[in-house]
């Protein structure tokens, strides 16, 4: 009986690992992750998060309720470095980090976010695609953004990607 539990436990662990978030590394594609983020992002912005709203649970029967799949952030764009200037204040991601969702942004804090225009032009972010900063893993709080990167963002000094034709899957 103990062997059955061990096999079941190992199987469950394998399934969990195989379903976890997995990202392609941009520096492998273009040699410089900041350049890769700039080249492939539809938008990059300094944002202040005002609300964090999970999807409402869906009751499918008396005893079964499914949690929503998405997380919705409401944000003020304090400075837009790339993308439309009339950018939406609504930013969406999947609800859990296991599905590459960005679940760690907190209301009242300011971040450097980069992302894509998703279905119907919705702003989307994920764990795989962010402006990298040394010793920060994920979308950085604005207070950690070095002056050198800020100047590069302001000037759009990412010239090598102008001729970038390679498409990547994120």
* DSSP H/E element including 90: strand 90-94
Candidates 40, 16, 17; CA nearest to 128 is: 40
Give Cβ neighbours of residue 39 (< 8 Å, ≥ 6 apart). Answer: 30, 158, 160, 161, 164
Candidates 54, 74, 170, 57; CA nearest to 122 is: 74
Q: Is 100 annotated as a binding residue?
A: no
Residues 33 and 26 sit within 8 Å (Cβ to Cβ) = yes
Whole-number Å distance between alpha carbons of 45 and 111: 8
Write the secondary structure of 38-71 as one string of H (helix), E (strand) and C (coil).
Answer: HHHCCEEEEEEEEEEEECCCEECCCCCEECCCEE
Q: Which residues pair with 94 in a beta bridge?
A: 70
Annotated binding site: 21
Annotated binding site for Zn(2+): 21
């Amino acid at each position: 009986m103990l062997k059955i539990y061990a096999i079941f436990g190992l199987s469950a662990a394998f399934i969990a690992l195989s379903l976890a978030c997995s990202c392609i590394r941009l520096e492998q594609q273009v040699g410089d992750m900041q350049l890769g983020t700039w080249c492939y992002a539809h938008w990059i912005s300094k944002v202040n998060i005002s609300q964090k709203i999970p999807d409402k649970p869906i009751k499918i029967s008396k005893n079964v309720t499914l949690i929503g799949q998405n997380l919705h952030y409401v944000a003020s764009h304090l400075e837009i470095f790339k993308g439309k200037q009339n950018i939406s204040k609504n930013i969406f991601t999947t609800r859990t980090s296991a599905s590459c969702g960005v679940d760690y942004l907190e209301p009242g804090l300011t971040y450097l976010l980069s992302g894509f225009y998703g279905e119907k032009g919705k702003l989307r972010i994920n764990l795989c695609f962010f402006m990298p900063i040394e010793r920060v893993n994920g979308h950085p709080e604005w207070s950690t953004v070095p002056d050198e990167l800020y100047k590069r963002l302001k000037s759009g000094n990412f010239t090598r990607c102008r001729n970038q034709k390679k498409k990547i899957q994120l």
